[in-house]
Structure 1
Amino acid sequence: MTEILRVEHLKKSYDGFLAVNDVSFSVAKGELKALIGPNGAGKSTCFNMLMGQLKPTAGTVWLDGKKITGLRPREIWRRGVGRTFQITGTYPSMTVIENVQMALMSHHRKLYAIAPRAWRLYRDEAFEFLKTVEMEDQADRPCSVLAYGDLKRLELAIALCHRPRLLLMDEPTAGMASSARIALMQLVADIVRDQGVSVLFTEHDMDVVFAHSHHIMVLNRGELITEGSAEEVRNDARVQEVYLGGGTLFAEARNA
Structure 2
Amino acid sequence: MSILVVEELGKTYSGFQAVRNVSFALEAGEMLALIGPNGAGKSTCFNMIDGQLAPTTGRIAIFGKSTAGMTPGDIWRLGVGRTFQVAATFASMTVAENVQMALISHHAARWLTLRWAARRHVAEAEHLLDLVGMADQGQRSCGELAYGDLKRLELAIALANDPKLLLMDEPAAGMAPRERHAVMDLTARIARQRGIGVLFTEHDMDVVFGHADRVLVLNRGTLIAEGAPHAVRANAEVQAVYLGAGSLYRAHT
TM-score scaled by length of structure 1: 0.96
Structure 1 residue 216 and structure 2 residue 212: aligned? no
- 1:93 match: 92
Match of 2:178 in 1: 179
Cα distance change of structure 1 residues 255 and 150 upon mapping to structure 2, 3 Å threshold: closer
Q: What per-residue deviation string (whole Å, max 9, x for no partner) do you get for residues 73-131 of structure 1? A: 10011011111011111000000000000000000111111242221100111000001
The residue that corresponds to 1:61 in the other structure is 60
- Given that 2:170 and 2:202 are in contact with CA atoms closer than 8 Å, whether structure 1 keeps it comes out as yes
Give the superposition deviation at 1:132.
0.7
Q: Tell me whether 1:51 sits opposite 2:50 in the alignment.
A: yes
Residue matched to 2:28? 29
Paired position in structure 2 for 1:248 = 246
**Tell me, what secondary structure is at the counterpart of 2:115?**
coil
CA distance in 2, matches of 1:47, 1:210: 20
Structure 1 position 32, deviation (Å): 0.7
Q: In structure 2, what is the equivalent of residue 150 of structure 1?
A: 149
Whole-Å separation in 2 of the counterparts to 1:255 and 1:105: 40
* Cα deviation digits, residues 218-254 of structure 1 (max 9, x gap): 0001000010001100100010000123x222xx227
The residue type equivalent to 1:235 in the other structure is: A
AA of the residue aligned to 2:82: R
Q: Deviations over 1:193-234 (max 9, x none)?
A: 111111000001111111111111000010000100011001
Measure the CA separation in 1 of the matches of 2:239 and 2:105.
44
Provide the rounded CA distance (Å) in 1 between the counterparts of 2:43 and 2:151.
18
Q: 1:254 to 1:88 in 2, by over 3 A?
A: closer
Please give the alpha-carbon distance, in whole angstroms, between the structure 1 residues aligned to 2:183 and 2:246: 26
Per-residue deviation, 1:3: 0.7
Paired residue secondary structure (2:59):
strand
Question: Structure 2 vs 1, CA of residues 255 and 144 (structure 1 numbering), >3 Å: closer, same or farther?
Answer: closer
CA distance in 2, matches of 1:153, 1:121: 21
Say if 1:60 and 1:116 are closer, same or farther in 2 by CA, change over 3 A.
Answer: same
Report how far residue 255 of structure 1 moved. Answer: 9.4
Give the share of equivalent positions with the same residue, in percent.
58
The residue type paired with residue 222 of structure 2 is: E
Q: Measured at CA, do residues 255 and 174 of structure 1 come closer, stay the same or move farther in structure 2, by a change above 3 Å?
A: closer
Counterpart residue identity of residue 126, structure 1:
A
Contact 2:210 / 2:251 at 8 angstroms: preserved in 1?
no
Can you list the C-alpha shifts for 1:35-76, whole angstroms capped at 9, x where unaligned?
Answer: 011111110110000000001111100112111122111001
How many residue pairs were aligned? 252
Name the structure 1 match of 2:140.
Answer: 141
Do structure 1's residue 192 and structure 2's residue 191 form an aligned pair?
Answer: yes
Match of 1:29, SS state, is coil
TM-superposed CA distance for 1:192, in Å, is 1.2
Structure-2 separation of matches of 1:157 and 1:254: 29
Query: Quick one: which amino acid aligns to residue 238 of structure 1?
Result: E
Alpha-carbon distance in 2 for matches of 1:206, 1:254: 9
How far off is 1:176 after superposition?
A: 0.5
Question: What amino acid maps onto 1:171 in structure 2?
Answer: E
1:79 equivalent in alignment to 2:78: yes
Instruction: Name the SS for the 2:91 alignment partner.
Output: coil
What is the Cα-based RMSD across aligned positions, in Å?
1.2
Aligned-partner residue type, residue 239 of structure 1:
V
Corresponding residue of 1:226: 225
Listed one character per residue, the Cα deviations across residues 126-152 of structure 1 (whole Å, up to 9, x for unaligned) are 000001110111110001110111111
Structure 1 residue ranges without an equivalent (≥5): none
